[in-house]
Amino acid sequence: MSSEGLALANDLIKIEVLDRHDELHVIEVPPDIGLNVMEVCKASELPIEGTCGGMALCGSCHVYVLSDHILHERSDEEEEMLDKLFSTEDNSRLCCQIRVDDTIDGLKIKLAPE
């Protein structure tokens, strides 16, 4: 690989996703892609529905954050949706509400039960 290609690879954001069978999927995306984590997972063909299109209205992109990343605070809409789900934990988030940027590099999440 050329040094130019290597530099490009090092600029990618890495997200580790444990699916519902505890299989690890590593996703690498550019930091300026302008997507949220749900959209990236869907594009990687992981089993996330995201039926509301990222509006925090359906809860079908519920995940557990396993890494110690400091994410932005939950919005009122995200809190309300998480309160309606049965399998929430302290580390629960809707991944449609997590923007892809440099701050989430190395983020590790687990898909919540359906």
Look at residue 6 and tell me whether its pLDDT is greater than 70: no
Number of domains in the chain: 1
Range of 82's domain?
3-111
Cα dihedral sign, 75-88-90-60:
negative
CATH number at residue 88: 3.10.20.30
Mean pLDDT of 65-86: 95
pLDDT in tens, 12-49: 999 999 999 999 999 999 999 999 999 999 999 999 99
Look at residue 56 and tell me whether its pLDDT is greater than 90: yes
Look at residue 78 and tell me whether its pLDDT is greater than 70: yes
Look at residue 4 and tell me whether its pLDDT is greater than 60: no
Confidence of residue 10 (pLDDT cuts 50, 70, 90): low
Q: Whole-prediction pTM value? A: 0.88
* Neighbouring residues of 80: CB distance < 8 A, sequence distance ≥ 6: 56
11, amino acid identity: D
Confidence of residue 103 (pLDDT cuts 50, 70, 90): very high
